[in-house]
Amino acid sequence: MIPTEAYLILSLALFTIGVVGVLTRRNVIIVLMSIELILNAVNINLVAFSRHFGSVDGQVFAIFIITDAAAEAAVGLGIILAFFRNRETVLADEMDMLKW
Partner 1 sequence: MTSQLPFFLAHIWLLPMFPLVTAAAMLFFGRKLKNDAINVLCAGSVFISFIFSAGSFLQLLSLPQDNRIAINVLFEWLPAVPFHMLDGGLANFVADWGFQLDPLSAVMILVVTGVGFLIHVYATGYMAHEGGYYRFFGYLNLFMFAMLMLVLANNFLLLFVGWEGVGTCSYLLIGFYFHKKSASDAGKKAFIVNRIGDAAFLLGIFMTSALLGTMRFADIGPALAKGNFEVGDPRIVAIALLFFVGATGKSAQIPLYVWLPDAMEGPTPVSALIHAATMVTAGVYMVTRTSAIYVLAPSALAVVAIVGAITALFAASMGVVQTDIKKVLAYSTVSQLGYMFLACGVGAFTAGIFHLMTHAFFKGLLFLAAGSVIHALSGEQDMRKMGALSKKIPITYWTMLIATLAIAGIFPFAGFLSKDLILGKAYEKDALLWAIGYFTAGMTAFYMFRLIFMTFHGESRVDHEVEHHIHESPRSMLIPLVILAALSIAGGWVAWPEILGGNSVFIRFLEPVVAVPHELRAEAAKGVSSRMGEIGLMLLSEGLVVCGILAAWYLYIKRTNLPQMIANRLGWFYRLVYNKYYTDELYDSLFVNRAKDLGLALGAFDRTVIDGAGVNGAGWLTRFISKVSMWWDTWIVDGSVRFGARVVWLLSIPVRMIQDGLVQSYMLLVVIGLIGFLAYYFHIAHQAMH
Partner 2 sequence: MILNQVLFYFFALLAVGSAILMVTRRNIIHGAVFLISTLLATAGIFLQLQAEFLFVVQIILYVGGIMVLFVFVIMLVNLDVALRQIQFNRQKYLAAVLALVLATQVGFALWVARAGLNLSNPSDKMPARNTEAIGDAIFQRYMLPFEIASVLLLVAMIGAVVMAKRRV
Spatial contact of 7 and 48, defined as CB atoms under 8 Å apart: yes
Neighbours of 53 (CB within 10 A): 11
Assess 96 for contact with partner 1 (CB under 8 A).
yes
User: Cα dist. 18→31, 40, 71 in Å?
Assistant: 9, 9, 19
Which is closer to partner 1, CB of 2 or CB of 98? Answer: 98
Show the binding pattern over residues 53-72: x = contacts partner 2 (CB under 8 A), - = does not: xx-xx-xx-xxx-xxxxxxx
Q: For residue 27, what are the β-bridge partners?
A: 91
User: Between 1 and 40, how does the x/- string for binding to partner 1 read (CB under 8 A)?
Assistant: ------------------x--xxx------x---------
Helix or strand (DSSP H, E) at 44 = helix 28-53
100 binding partner (options partner 1, partner 2, none; Cβ < 5 to 8 Å by kind): partner 1
98 touches, from partner 1, partner 2, none (C-beta below 5 to 8 Å by class): partner 1
